[in-house]
Amino acid sequence: MKPFRMKTNYHTHTTFCDGAASPERMIEAALEKGFAALGFSTHSDIVKDLEAYKTEIRSLAAKYAGRIKVLCGVEAEYDTGFKRGDLDYVIGSTHYLTVPDGSRFAFDHTPQILMDGIRAFFGGDASAFVRAYFAQEREMIGNYDCDVIGHVDLVRKFNLKHPFFDETAPWYRAEIEKTADAIASSGKIVEVNTGAIARGWQTDAYPSAEMRALLRERGVRFILSSDAHAPKTLDFAFDRFADAEDYVTEPRPCAMRGA
Ligand SMILES: [Zn+2]
Ligand SMILES: [Zn+2]
């Protein structure tokens, strides 16, 4: 295994949303694990107090300056129109699919909710659901002001344990190709997210090996993250994915262009 140029994780959650630990406990754990930088990405829709969150992370960034770089970001529900303001970076994520009747379908909550939703909103046609997901994802990629695309193929979450569509089907390949094209023209960064492996749903990261290959061919840049909700998963499966890509170590495309 080649050593990390710099060990980083910018997709983490704390007790400000649905994480198990305080920001400071996460920072201490990151220091023990040899991280050079740690970013917090609270959920934009369930953060308890965004201003208090920002104040806390900024003061910890100052306290730990020189030991570890601490950034204050957000994992945004793009369809709520969340604006970046003075945050250091934004991860754009699609946890809810807007369905024809206007409701938001929480397709990644449980396999049962997923199956019920496919029946209720897509007449039981799983491929129609998956295509609608990627259409919404491309809408975000093309139009939303974010830096990193979060778990781009989240639609795969339950597909290993509760198979509901064929990831080798030509129509699926066409969807991920179109999505890879959209990402390449957006200039946004894609995270290689190990969170579903940590939670036992998947054996591969988001995006899948197949989609990573498509993105790599198009020159898209990757950043490694674990979507950690607790200190112990801060670098979950990083050793498995460390070699795979030349990861960027900053979650901001503009900063990296040297602007
Ligand atoms: Zn997420
Ligand atoms: Zn997350």
- Model pLDDT for residues 95-123, shown as the tens digit of each residue: 999 998 899 999 999 999 999 999 999 99
CATH code for the domain in which residue 80 is found? 3.20.20.140
Give distance in angstroms: CA of 208 to centre of ligand 1.
16
Q: CB-based burial of residue 84 (10 Å sphere; 0-12 exposed, 13-18 middle, 19+ buried)? A: middle
Q: Which ligand is nearest to the CA of 151?
A: 1
Give distance in angstroms: CA of 181 to centre of ligand 2.
24
Amino acid at 94: T
Is the predicted pLDDT of residue 257 greater than 50, yes or no? no
**93 belongs to a structural domain:** yes
Is the backbone of residue 66 left (phi > 0), alpha (psi -120 to 50) or beta?
left
**3 belongs to a structural domain:** no
**146 belongs to a structural domain:** yes
* pTM across the whole model: 0.95
Is the predicted pLDDT of residue 219 greater than 90, yes or no? yes
**230 belongs to a structural domain:** yes
Report pLDDT for 256.
Answer: 47
**209 belongs to a structural domain:** yes
Report pLDDT for 159.
Answer: 98
93: which 2 tokens? Answer: 């994520």
Average pLDDT, the chain: 95
Give distance in angstroms: CA of 95 to centre of ligand 1.
6
Q: CB-based burial of residue 51 (10 Å sphere; 0-12 exposed, 13-18 middle, 19+ buried)? A: exposed
Give distance in angstroms: CA of 246 to centre of ligand 2.
22
Report pLDDT for 3.
Answer: 54
State mean pLDDT over 138-144: 97
Rounded CA separation 69/54 (Å): 15
Report pLDDT for 73.
Answer: 98
Q: Which ligand is nearest to the CA of 233?
A: 2
Question: pLDDT band at 258, cuts 50/70/90?
Answer: very low
**200 belongs to a structural domain:** yes
Q: Which ligand is nearest to the CA of 74?
A: 2
**171 belongs to a structural domain:** yes
Q: Which ligand is nearest to the CA of 42?
A: 2
- Model pLDDT for residues 25-52, shown as the tens digit of each residue: 999 999 999 999 999 999 999 999 999 9
- Model pLDDT for residues 78-99, shown as the tens digit of each residue: 889 999 999 999 999 999 999 9
Contact 12, 256 (CB under 8 A): no
Write out the residue range of the structural domain in which residue 45 sits.
Answer: 8-256
**2 belongs to a structural domain:** no
How many domains in the chain? 1
Report pLDDT for 259.
Answer: 36
